[in-house]
Amino acid sequence: METTLIILKPDAVQRGLMGRIISRFEEKGLQIVGCKLMRISQELAATHYEAHKTKPFYPGLVRFMTSSPVLVMAVRGIGAITICRNMMGATFGSKAAPGTIRGDFGVSNSYNLIHGSDSPEAAERELGLFFRAGEVIEIDRAVEQWVYDFGSGKPE
């Protein structure tokens, strides 16, 4: 099982898309194991996006991410990082395929609705930035046997 960070950005929150996007992850069979609505501080945004600090879009990105509340989620499942990123679609809504979150809800080349960790290392780092100890929980779900095939003794 992997746990990844998903952020529904200010445009998703302001447009009232939180429920529809959360539903997509749950309908896919992924677990929401942590969730909170928050305003990202300048300091947290700077830390989260420090890899982009020298890029020309950085100031606008930090301004955007701190402009309005976001919904941060810890999403868990086998291969959750790749699955979530595939569900998100290409970075820009204008280029994202229909059926993806960005493809169905986005047209902007700067407002792109959602962030997802891009690797296990990034997920661990990012989850640690947004969730304190105990805020990401373990949930035993009876439905797991219907999400994953356990016929071989391990979930597939």
Catalytic residues: 115
Distance CA 4, CA 146 (A): 22
Token readout for 16 is: 């009232």
Length of the chain in terms of residues written: 156
Q: What is the full DSSP assignment across 110-126?
A: S--SEEE-SSHHHHHHH
**Rg, the chain, Cα only:** 16
